[in-house]
């Protein structure tokens, strides 16, 4: 049997965006009998005569001997079934095109999406997963496909594969975010938020069960950083910093400084959070900051001064802050000729009273002395300079931070990048 190359006009291609018929870009190898039958089918497909269409489809299927012919016939079946609104025949045609192995890379995404939708409707989750995996293999930079597959894997609750599923989910979310950012735009906000939630939950004990994947804590922190860099709303800052606070190394000084950033980012919550933070500041001897925080809570309506416990806390902080303010000049004098520890303590005191330029000067002096942690000093120096509106200097200090405080410095740099110009 002699084979000939079919004219491209005989072929129809399913568009990538929807199952619509277009002229193809793939020539097929057909026998003369197959070519004649498919040419008749093309003519029938263009007519409104259903009987003629059905007869032409049947004749073409009888003549078909190879995969190329079946691929072409499936395209015409798809065109005809779409015109009729025959969804069962459309599904059959889509499956035939995919199964032929001849679908082009441009065709496959919409074909697989059609199959995926039907698999969901049929609750065939095994097929859903296979189709999702194939889709991201075909389109490794498709942000929506990667995120959807990641979300699907995050919901698997198998006692056997649960940890591996969660690790894959976190990896897929990371790929989705990286793909979007590599294209010069942030991923959708929902992708960052889902990524943060899935990664954070993997590190937590839920209903007494051990964490599924505690090793993804760094990714959770990274997702939080990327979330607020792309979408710096107070809600996102709060969610990102709460996750970071829970995942950060256990260190009272670091926990206090994370809360300072939460306050700067307008990410503190209700009464309990204000009172807890004020208590930490009081324990650290930072009474000026505790008073300012409590006053802020009252002014914002978060704290009710009519409650005896809150009224007592405000009164105590007011007394202690007055005494502490009187001690500031002496602290600065002793720091000038004293140790690095004295310079840090003085810097902390001035920071607590919102005197950020003075605090920065003292932290900078502490860096020139010996015996203190430069990462702690640089992180607080950067925060003081940022709050003082001295952006470039703040960035330089924060970029020098390494070790356990590097993530905090990164968050401050993000806050600095989005902060309105100082007034």
Q: Where in the chain is the domain with CATH 1.25.40?
A: 140-203+213-247, 338-423
339 in helix, strand or coil?
Answer: coil
DSSP 26: -
Q: 338-423 — its CATH code?
A: 1.25.40
Give CA–CA dist 173/192, Å, rounded.
8
Q: How many other CB atoms are there within 10 angstroms of residue 104's CB atom?
A: 14
Evaluate if residue 99 carries a pLDDT over 80.
Answer: yes
- Give the pLDDT band (50/70/90) at residue 23: very low
Q: Which of 168-172, 206-210, 216-220, 277-281 has the lowest mean pLDDT?
A: 206-210
Assign domain 140-203+213-247 to a CATH class.
Answer: mainly alpha
Q: Which residues of 222-246 are buried (b: 16+ CB within 10 A; e: fewer)?
A: bbbbbbbbbbbeeebbbbbbbbbee
Average pLDDT rounded to a whole number, residues 298-319: 95
Q: Taking a C-beta distance cutoff of 8 angstroms, is the pair 340, 310 a contact?
A: no
Write the CB contacts of 421 (distance below 8 Å, at least 6 apart in sequence).
389
Show the tokens assigned to 80.
């005809």
| Measured distance CA(28)–CA(8) in Å, rounded | 8
Residue 13 predicted with pLDDT over 70: no
pLDDT of residue 21: 38
The pLDDT, as a whole number, for residue 423 is: 33
Q: What pLDDT, on the 0 to 100 scale, is given for residue 178?
A: 98
- Over residues 34-52, the pLDDT tens digits come to 999 999 999 999 999 999 9
Per-residue confidence at 161, pLDDT binned at 50, 70, 90?
A: confident
Q: Is 31 helix (H, G, I), strand (E, B) or coil?
A: strand
- What was the pLDDT predicted at 22? 39
Residue-level pLDDT at 26:
63
pLDDT for 420:
56
Q: Mean pLDDT over residues 7-35, rounded?
A: 51
- Residue 18: pLDDT band by 50, 70, 90 thresholds? very low
* List of residues 6+ apart from 338 with CB closer than 8 A: none
Q: How confident is the model at residue 210 (pLDDT cuts 50, 70, 90)?
A: confident
Q: What is the pLDDT of residues 114-136, one digit of tens each?
A: 999 999 899 999 999 999 999 99
pLDDT (0 to 100) of residue 158: 72
Please answer whether residues 404 and 249 qualify as being in contact, where contact means their C-beta atoms are separated by less than 8 angstroms.
yes
């Amino acid at each position: 049997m002699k084979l000939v190359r079919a004219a491209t006009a005989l072929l129809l291609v399913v568009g990538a965006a929807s199952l619509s018929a277009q002229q193809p870009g793939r020539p097929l190898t057909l026998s003369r009998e197959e070519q004649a039958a498919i040419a008749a089918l093309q003519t029938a497909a263009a007519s409104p005569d259903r009987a003629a269409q059905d007869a032409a489809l049947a004749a073409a299927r009888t003549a078909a001997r190879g995969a190329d012919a079946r691929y072409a016939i499936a395209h015409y079946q798809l065109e005809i079934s779409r015109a009729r609104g025959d969804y069962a025949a459309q599904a059959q045609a889509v499956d035939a095109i995919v199964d032929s192995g001849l679908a082009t890379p441009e065709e496959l995404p919409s074909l697989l999406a059609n199959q995926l939708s039907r698999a969901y409707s049929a609750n065939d989750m095994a097929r859903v997963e296979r189709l999702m995996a194939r889709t991201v293999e075909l389109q490794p930079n498709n942000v929506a496909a990667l995120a959807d597959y990641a979300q699907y894997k995050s919901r698997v609750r198998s006692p056997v594969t649960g940890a591996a599923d969660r690790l894959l989910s976190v990896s897929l979310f990371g790929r989705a975010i990286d793909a979007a950012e590599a294209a010069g735009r942030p991923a959708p906000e929902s992708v960052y938020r889902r990524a943060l939630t899935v990664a954070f939950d993997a590190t937590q004990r839920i209903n007494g069960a051990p964490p599924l994947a505690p090793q993804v804590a760094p990714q959770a922190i990274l997702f939080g950083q990327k979330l607020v860099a792309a979408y710096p709303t107070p809600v996102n800052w709060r969610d990102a910093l709460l996750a970071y606070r829970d995942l950060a190394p256990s260190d009272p000084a670091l926990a206090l400084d994370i809360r300072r950033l939460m306050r700067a980012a307008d990410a503190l919550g209700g009464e309990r959070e204000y009172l807890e933070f004020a208590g930490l500041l009081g324990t650290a001897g930072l009474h000026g900051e505790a008073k300012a925080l409590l006053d802020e809570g009252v002014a914002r309506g978060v704290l009710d001064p009519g409650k005896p416990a809150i009224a007592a806390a405000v009164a105590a902080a007011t007394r202690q802050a007055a005494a502490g303010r009187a001690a500031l000049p002496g602290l600065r004098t002793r720091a000038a000729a004293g140790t690095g520890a004295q310079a840090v303590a003085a810097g902390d005191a001035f920071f607590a009273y919102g005197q950020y330029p003075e605090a920065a000067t003292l932290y900078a002096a502490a860096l020139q002395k010996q015996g203190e942690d430069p990462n702690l000093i640089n992180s607080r120096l950067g925060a003081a300079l940022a709050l003082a509106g001295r952006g470039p200097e703040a960035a330089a200090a924060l970029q020098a931070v390494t070790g356990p405080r590097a993530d905090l410095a990164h968050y401050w740099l993000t806050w600095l990048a989005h902060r309105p110009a100082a007034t």
